[in-house]
Amino acid sequence: MEPLHGRIRDYAWGSRTVLAQLQGRPVPSAGPEAELWLGAHPGDPSTVHRGGAPLSVVDAFATDPGRWLGADVIDRFGQRLPFLLKVLAPEAPLSLQAHPDAEQARAGYAAEVTDPELTHRNYVDPYHKPELLVAVSPFQALCGFRDPKLSADLIDAFGVPALDPVVDALRAGTDGLREAVRTLLGWPVPDRAALVAAVVAADVPEQYAQAGELVRELAGRYPADPGVLVALLLNHVSLAPGEAIWMPAGNLHAYLYGAGVEILAASDNVLRGGLTPKHVDVPELLRVLRFEVLVDPVVPPVPVAPGVVTWPVPVDDFALHGVRLGEAVGSARIALRGPRIALCLAGEVTVADGAGSARLGPGQSAIGPADGGPLTVSGSGEVYVASVGLG
């Protein structure tokens, strides 16, 4: 293991406190700080030090891919790190979005990369983008479609006659879910602000007060965006620290606020449906979405050793372990295959494998190569370890 230096993305929805506090910098930061990226994504790769100067890990991997990535990873994913580790710090809602599955990503990228007249690309790489987010503070999110009949009752409670066709479609269950979403996202542009305003002004029953608050919050930021109403079709999830949400391909979602550690397949393929000034491609989004109920998106932590938990997911691009050390447990050993990244969130720890060791404080991270063998974490603190999910 050796020190790794990540990159901060300054999207407008980011917090001015979370990442600055984590890294021990002055609070508030000069501007919004949304994400800390740790990995080899070509959009903003992390760095290691060589000869006193920073070196992109992309370049480091290129010098010795066999050692860094390992034969198993290269055979399965090619000469690239298949995961990206992030700290997410939303202080305002992210866009409503979904990600393609692997087949859709390959086909979409192949079609767009050969189109010389294309003005906007939905597919910037040929990879899927499943995501796992673990809350490190109370975290709010919209995750996947809930039972459409429950959504019908909710929207009907707002008492806006213009939405009767949406309610009728939702009463048909999942068979009508596509039509309900298509109707809302295809609402005539001149009429959108009035529709949202009518919903905001509605006096809803007490049982739907939380939904009314959500509509008012979203509409305050996007007063003419039908995505405000599409949000009512999704599960509204409140995560406690340590709980996670799993977002497979095709599930519409939006993170609202909180702080979390996210691990995802290293891709930038995003289809947006609203709550954003960015490009929205409704036909392509509808093609990618899975119009099915996501019964429970919450993934609880599973203990695997004293002080160590994981959150099982059905992909091999990544795996995530959480480690908590203190008086009761002073060290932990994790069997890993392939490259690995460790991020310290609290305390002081040492991470060591066969390639070396690094001492980490809050906000600091380290990377190790595929030939490092098992990882040992010692000290007192909280650490997240990202690796591939190959068994």
* Candidates 192, 272, 324, 337; catalytic one: 272
**How far is Cα 374 from Cα 334, in angstroms, rounded to an integer?**
6
pLDDT-derived band at 52 (thresholds 50, 70, 90) equals: confident
Total-model pTM? 0.95
Which segment of 151-155, 193-197, 236-240, 293-297 scores lowest on mean pLDDT? 293-297
pLDDT over threshold 90, residue 116? no
In whole angstroms, how far apart are CA 264 and each of 47, 130, 132, 284, 350? Answer: 19, 6, 6, 22, 25
pLDDT over threshold 80, residue 249? yes
Question: Which of 269, 264, 292 lies closest to 107 in space, CA to CA?
Answer: 269
pLDDT of residue 241: 97
**How far is Cα 222 from Cα 17, in angstroms, rounded to an integer?**
24
pLDDT of residue 74: 97
pLDDT-derived band at 311 (thresholds 50, 70, 90) equals: very high
**How far is Cα 330 from Cα 225, in angstroms, rounded to an integer?**
51
Question: Which of 40, 42, 33 lies closest to 9 in space, CA to CA?
Answer: 33
pLDDT of residue 391: 67
For 203-239, the pLDDT digits (tens) are 999 999 999 999 999 999 999 999 999 999 999 999 9
Residue that the structure tokens 């999207």 belong to: 11
Active site residue 333: no
pLDDT over threshold 80, residue 332? yes
Compute the mean pLDDT over every residue in the chain, rounded to the nearest whole number: 96
Residue that the structure tokens 């990442």 belong to: 19
**How far is Cα 78 from Cα 175, in angstroms, rounded to an integer?**
39
Summarize the confidence of residues 195-201 as an average pLDDT. 97
For 260-307, the pLDDT digits (tens) are 999 999 999 999 999 999 999 999 999 999 999 999 999 999 999 999
Dihedral angle sign, alpha carbons of residues 81, 87, 89, 90: positive
pLDDT over threshold 80, residue 13? yes
3-state secondary structure the chain: CEEEECEEECCCCEECCHHHHHCCCCCCCCCCECEEEEECCCCCCCEEEECCEEEEHHHHHHHCHHHHHHHHHHHHHCCCCCEEEEEECECCCCCEEECCCHHHHHHHHHHHHCCCCCCCCCCCCCCCCCEEEEECCCEEEEEEECCHHHHHHHHHHCCCHHHHHHHHHHHCCHHHHHHHHHHHHCCCHHHHHHHHHHHHHCCCCHHHHHHHHHHHHHHHHCCCCCHHHHHHHEEEEEECCCCEEEECCCCCEEEEECCEEEEEECCCCCEEEECCCCCCCHHHHHHHCCCCECCCCEECCEEEECCEEECCCCCCCCEEEEEEECCCCCEEEECCCCCEEEEEEEEEEEEEECCEEEEECCCCEEEECHHHCCEEEEEEEEEEEEECCCC
Contact 287, 98 (CB under 8 A): no
Contact 234, 124 (CB under 8 A): no
Question: Which of 97, 99, 35, 96 lies closest to 218 in space, CA to CA?
Answer: 96
Dihedral angle sign, alpha carbons of residues 363, 132, 2, 325: positive
Sequence-distant (6+) residues with CB within 8 A of 6 are 36, 37, 38, 46, 365
Contact 30, 4 (CB under 8 A): no
pLDDT of residue 88: 98
